[in-house]
Amino acid sequence: MVGRMAVVSDTGRRRRRNEDAFVCAPPLFAVADGMGGAQAGEVASGLAAAVLEEGAGDERGEERVASLIQEANRRVFQRSNEDAATSGMGTTMTVALVDSSSGTIAFGHVGDSRAYRVRDGQLEQLTDDHSLVGELVRSGKLSPEEAETHPQRSVITRALGTEPDVDVDTFTVEARPDDLYLLCSDGLTDMISADEIFAVLDGSDDLELAARALIEAANEGGGEDNITVVLFQIGHQGEVEQTAQIPVAVEPVEDDEDTLSGLDPVPVVDTAVIPAAVVEEHLQRVDAESPDSEQGRPKRRRRILPLLALVLLILLIAVLVELALWGL
């Protein structure tokens, strides 16, 4: 049922290492975008991808996708608790499982790696980002255009491996011949727009070339993060599968990860996790104009980059208060 497919993962132009991972094991496809200090991000995304590749289980569809992601979550969480060097690591995960018997594709996702589909000459984003700006856009406090350039756009509200359990979004779509699906990390979508993605994918005959072109465009747009692109197309019966995996080597020009120490006056914001409950709490605080309320504090402290996220929260409150004032 899966016809052509292609995968490219690239370090980008600003990072020293590639902390993204992918799975291209039809009928299963996935991207994972790891985060954490030192090499922990690579450990998290690599572990999560390995769990998917083992992939045993009797369930089908969304159930299977959700249980694979839960298992990946447990394994990353367990490792981060056992190994101090990886403490607090996490990863996003977006999974697609094609079921040829039912002609459907089950998706599951956590974080801000996205799934898109091109069908009938249109690009559609299938996933909702579990991110700070995603929440702000959905609650009407930020426009999609503002979100594209928002300094906190890398802050995610859900991740694998940071808590013993994780909320997984799952959904199923009908698969039609010629549908083209894209799974990608935010290193693509932060650097180029949906229109640019569509311009590359629309009518593309060669998925390998299309995947390379997306990576190139993201690098030309700045290449500030690791970029991973998984493309697969639903074929017609009897079509032969083709796979292309092209590691694109790009020399890093600068490493921004070290700026997280706070020494840089304008630190580049790396991926950080703030639980949705905390975001919600702050939205409510702004709504109620009672920023000092002590009620509704989250029981769990987030585990990724505590100091940075604290600074981000303070910035967020300032931005929200400003937005609220403008709205008056």
Binding interface with Mg ion (CB under 5 A) = 33, 185-187, 225
- Which residue's CB is nearer to Mg ion, number 114 or number 212? 114
CB of 234 to Mg ion, least distance (A): 27
Both tokens assigned to 282? 């702050």
- Which residue's CB is nearer to Mg ion, number 36 or number 187? 187
CB of 166 to Mg ion, least distance (A): 18
What's the DSSP call for residue 240? P
- Whether 27 and 97 have beta carbons less than 8 Å apart is answered as yes
- Which residue's CB is nearer to Mg ion, number 268 or number 286? 268
CB of 182 to Mg ion, least distance (A): 15
CB of 213 to Mg ion, least distance (A): 19
Query: What is the C-alpha to C-alpha distance for residues 112 and 92, in angstroms, rounded to an integer?
Result: 7
Coarse DSSP helix, strand, coil percentages of the chain, rounded to the nearest 5 percent:
35, 25, 40
- Which residue's CB is nearer to Mg ion, number 161 or number 187? 187
Strand pairing partners for 152? none
Both tokens assigned to 115? 């799934």
Query: What is the C-alpha to C-alpha distance for residues 70 and 81, in angstroms, rounded to an integer?
Result: 16
Q: What are phi and psi of 87, to 5 degrees?
A: -55, 130
CB of 175 to Mg ion, least distance (A): 27
CB of 14 to Mg ion, least distance (A): 11
- Which residue's CB is nearer to Mg ion, number 23 or number 106? 23
- Which residue's CB is nearer to Mg ion, number 47 or number 106? 47
CB of 74 to Mg ion, least distance (A): 23
- Whether 220 and 139 have beta carbons less than 8 Å apart is answered as no
Q: What residues contact residue 211 under an 8 Å CB cut-off, 6+ apart?
A: 6, 7, 8, 229, 231, 244, 246
| Alpha helices by DSSP H, the chain | 40-54, 61-82, 132-138, 144-149, 186-189, 194-201, 207-220, 276-288, 306-327
- Which residue's CB is nearer to Mg ion, number 20 or number 135? 20
